[in-house]
Amino acid sequence: MVAFLTSSPKTSRREARKLKRQMSETGEISAALRLLAPWLLLLLSIGVAPLAWLLTRARDVQGFTATCVIVCGALLVWSSLYLNRGRLTFNRVHEALNFAAPTGVTSYTILQGPDTYVMIGAFTFGMTSAIIWHKRHTSTTLRELERRGHGGGGSAEWRGFVQDYMPSIADSELTVIRNTPVDAVAGLQLGPGEVPDDLSAQLIDRITKFFGGIRGGTTLAIGDHLDKVGVHVMKTDPLRKPFDWQGPSAPGESIVELVEGLGRYRDNADLSLVMPYVAAATPDDEDVQQSHLLMVGMSRAGKGDAGELIDCNVACRADAGVVVLDAVKGDQQLGVIGDGAVYVVTSVPAIRSFMWKLVNVTIPNRAAFLGDPRRNPLGRMLREWVPGCGLTWLQVHAYEAAALYGNADLVKITERAASVGIKLIVEAQRGVHDRVDTNVRSNAADLIMFGCNDADDAKLVMPPELVDMGAQPWVWKNRQPGMCYTVLGHLPLNRQVIPARFARRSRDGSDVAAALAEYRPFVEAPLDPITAASWGEPYAKFDATRQAERDRRPRQHAFAGPPAPRYADPYEQPPAPAAAPAAPPAVPTPPAAAAAPPVAVRRSTPAPAAAPADDMPVEGFDLGEGLDDELAPGPEYEADEVATQAENLVGDVALGLEGDPERRGVLQQMVDGLERMGRPGDDEPQGAAGERFEDIEFPPAEGDEGLQAIVDRDEAVDILLAILAEDIGEGGTFKPQDLYDLVRARARRSDSWVRHELKTLREWGCVRSHDDYGSYVVIHTQRGDRGEPTEPDYGQ
C-alpha cells in the first residue's frame, strides 16, 4: 500500500502522468529543448542584440528598451534562485548566470551599440557555459529518468544493494515518492513470493541506511494488500529537543471531549487521548470503547511526568475525578497532582482495602444505579457511563504498580470497571510477569510504551506487528524522557507505529499547580454520593481533612459587575432607629473555638444591634467569655468527678496499708461506703469491721467485667469486627496482642479465641497478613457468612 502518511493516490497518479510524459515523444522534445536553452540564449545575446540596437536607434527608444530588458533579466534571475532553492549552490549560480549574462549583454548593446570586445567575450563565455549546462543537465536527466522509470528497483544501485544485503526481498521494486533532506517516502512493491513479514528489524535498519535516515526513524505502513508496503524514513528527528506543556485542554468541559495538547508525534500531529466510551456518530463508524491503560518504561523514561499531565487534564474536567494510588513515593510524587485528586491513598494496606471496596461495593452500586431507570437522571437503562448520568467518571491511577503485584482485586478491576465509568492506569517499569500480572496486561487494551532497555522488554507488552513495522523503543532508553509509542485501540496501526513525545512540565511542577489553582475551583464538583458512600469511613476522614486544609488557606475574592459588598463590623453598626421595634433576645455567644466568621451583609440593609443588658456595662473592662447553658456541667459530670476522687482516695489508702491483712477490713468498709454514697435511704453499715452486706444490690458499673453477661459467639465476632473498625480502622495494621485486652473487656473472650477467630476473618477477606511477621492489615469489617455486601439505601 503505497498511499502513506504524506502521500495519496492523487499524488501517485500525478507522478505517474509526469513519468509518462517524460518517457513519451513529447517528453523527449521537451528534454531536447532544455538542452538547447543555453545555446538559444547565446544566439540572442550575439545575433539579436545588434538588430535590437538598430531598431531602437531608429525610433529613439534605446533607454526605455534597455530598462525593460534589465527588469526582465532581474525577474528571471530571482525566479531561478527561488525555484531552485534546496539544490546545490553551483547549480543555482550556473542557472542564474545563464539568465543574467545574455540580458546584460543585450541591454549594453542597445544602449552603447555593438562592441567587438563585448561580443567576443560573450561568445567565449557563452560557449563555455552552454557546454557545462549540457553535460550537467544530460547526466541529471538520465539519472532522474532511470529512477522514475524503474521506480528505483531497476537502478543498478538499488538492485546491487538488495542482492548483496537483502536477498529475501531481491525481487522488490522501490518507488521513491519524496526524498528531501528531512525525510524520504517510498513505496515498496514486493515480489511474487515475498510478504511484509520478511522485513525484519535488520532489513528495516538496512533500508534506513540506504536512505541515510536516523536510527529508529523508519516506519512501515502495511495495508490490506500484502504486496505493497509504505516506507517512511526520517533523516532528522524533530522530537530530539523537548518542548514545554501549554496547559490543560478544554477545562470545565465534559470528559468525553478529547484530551489534547499532551505532546506531538514525529510528523507534528497532536498527541491526544480518548478517555471514556464514545458512541459512534454514524452507523458506519465504530464506537470508541473505554479501555484501561498500561504505561511501561524504564526508570526515568518519563512515565510519571506524562501521567501527571493526563491526571491534570482529567482533574480539570467538570464531570471527572482522579484517584491517585502510590505506595512507594507518596508525597514526593503526589505533592502537586495530589491536590487535584478526589482521593489519595499512599500505603499498601490502605490501597488493598480501597481496591476491595472498589470491586465488592463501588462497582456493583454504580452498575445498579446506571441500570435502574428510576434512579439515574437520564431515566433509561445505561450499559455505559455517559455524561449526565449522575455519577462521576473516575480515573484510578496506580503509580509504581509493581508494589501491588499479587493483588487479585487489581485483576478484577480490569475485568469489571470499564462499563461503570472507572478507568485504571497502571504504571510499571517492566511488563514482566512478576511485576505486572499477565491478566492485567491482557485486559489493558491501551498501552503507552516509553523507552526500555532492550528489545526483549518491549516485546513483553508491545504487539508483535508494531515491532515488525519498525517500532524500536529501546533506542531511546531514558535519554529522551517522554518519547513513546501510543498503542491505543482507537488509532490505526499506521499511527501507532509513529513515535511521539509528551510535553515537558516544569521541574518544580509549578505549571501543573497553576493549572489546578486556576481551573479546579470553577469545575470541582463533589464526588457523587453513590461512590462516596461506597468508600466508607476512610474516604470521609480524608475528605474532611482535605476540606479543613483548604479552609485554612488564604482566599482571594473577586467580584464582577456592581461594587463588592462591605463586610459588616459588629463594633461599628449604625444606631438603631428610635421607632424600631424591640430587639430580639441576644443569642448566647459560643466559645472561641466554635465561633463562626462574620456574615457579609450590605450597608444598605444593616443588621440591627442587640440592646445591652441592664447590669452589663457597655465598655470599661472585659467580662470574659460567656458560658453556654448547654455546655454547663451536669449531674453526670459531677458524678464522674466524685468517682474519680474516690478511686484516687482508695488507691492512696491501699498503698498506705502496704498489704497488712489486719487492716483490709478497714479498706473494704471504705469501699462499701463509697459505693453507697449518694444513694438516699442507705444507712451506715453495722457490725464487725470487714463484714460484707450482701443484701445491698449495687447497679453494675460500666466496664465491670465481673458483672457483664457472657455473649454468644456471633455477638463476640461482631464486637471483634467493631473493634477492628473503630480502634484499628480500615487499612490499618495490628498484631493479635493489640486486641486481647479490648476483646476481654467487651466480649469476655480469651486470647486463644482471638487467635482462632483471626483465621475466620482471613477466610472472609476482612484481614490479610502484612509484610511484617505476625501483623495483619484490616481490609474491611463486613461478615462473610451473611452473603455479599448489600447496597446502601441512598434514596430514590
Domains of the chain with bracketed CATH: 9-143 (no CATH), 150-234 (3.30.980), 290-529 (3.40.50.300), 706-778 (1.10.10)
158-196 pLDDT tens trace: 777 887 788 888 888 888 888 888 888 888 888 888 888
Choice between 707 and 105, residue whose per-residue pLDDT is larger: 105
Percent of the chain with pLDDT strictly greater than 90: 24
Contact 399, 427 (CB under 8 A): yes
Choice between 102 and 572, residue whose per-residue pLDDT is larger: 102
Contact 780, 766 (CB under 8 A): yes
598-622 pLDDT tens trace: 444 444 444 444 444 444 444 444 4
271 pLDDT exceeds 90?
yes
Contact 318, 254 (CB under 8 A): yes
Buried b (16+ CB within 10 A) or exposed e, 738-765: ebbebbeebbbbeeebbeebbeebeebe
Lowest average pLDDT, out of 359-363, 438-442, 590-594, 635-639, goes to 590-594
Q: Quote the mean pLDDT of the chain.
A: 77
DSSP H/E element including 322: strand 320-326
The pLDDT, as a whole number, for residue 99 is 77
665 pLDDT exceeds 90?
no
Choice between 570 and 673, residue whose per-residue pLDDT is larger: 673
Distance CA 153, CA 173 (A): 4
The pLDDT, as a whole number, for residue 410 is 92
Count of CB atoms situated within 10 Å of the CB of 540:
12
Lowest average pLDDT, out of 323-327, 340-344, 506-510, 737-741, goes to 506-510
Distance CA 568, CA 575 (A): 13
Choice between 635 and 629, residue whose per-residue pLDDT is larger: 635
372 pLDDT exceeds 90?
yes
The pLDDT, as a whole number, for residue 490 is 86
DSSP secondary structure string for all residues of 333-363: HHTTGGGG-SEEE-SHHHHHHHHHHIIIIIH
Closest alpha carbon to 297 in 505, 487, 102, 512: 487
Distance CA 49, CA 111 (A): 10
Question: Once rounded to an integer, what is the mean pLDDT over residues 265-279?
Answer: 89
239-262 pLDDT tens trace: 989 999 999 998 988 999 999 999
- Any idea of the CA torsion for 399, 436, 423, 487, to the nearest 10 degrees? 100
DSSP H/E element including 201: helix 201-211
Lowest average pLDDT, out of 73-82, 438-447, 550-559, 604-613, goes to 604-613
Choice between 302 and 688, residue whose per-residue pLDDT is larger: 302
Residue 664 pLDDT level (bands cut at 50, 70, 90): low
The pLDDT, as a whole number, for residue 496 is 92
The pLDDT, as a whole number, for residue 569 is 40
Choice between 450 and 206, residue whose per-residue pLDDT is larger: 450
Percent of the chain with pLDDT strictly greater than 70: 70
Burial of 646 (0-12, 13-18, 19+ CB in 10 A): middle
482 pLDDT exceeds 90?
yes
Question: Once rounded to an integer, what is the mean pLDDT over residues 566-572?
Answer: 41
The pLDDT, as a whole number, for residue 635 is 59
710-764 pLDDT tens trace: 678 888 899 999 999 888 888 888 888 889 889 888 888 888 888 888 888 988 8
264 pLDDT exceeds 90?
yes
Question: Once rounded to an integer, what is the mean pLDDT over residues 290-319?
Answer: 92
677 pLDDT exceeds 50?
yes
103-160 pLDDT tens trace: 888 888 888 888 888 888 877 877 787 777 767 666 665 555 554 444 444 456 777 7
The pLDDT, as a whole number, for residue 656 is 59
The pLDDT, as a whole number, for residue 460 is 92
Cβ contacts of 400 within 8 Å, gap of 6 or more: 326, 327, 328, 329, 333, 427
Residue 672 pLDDT level (bands cut at 50, 70, 90): low
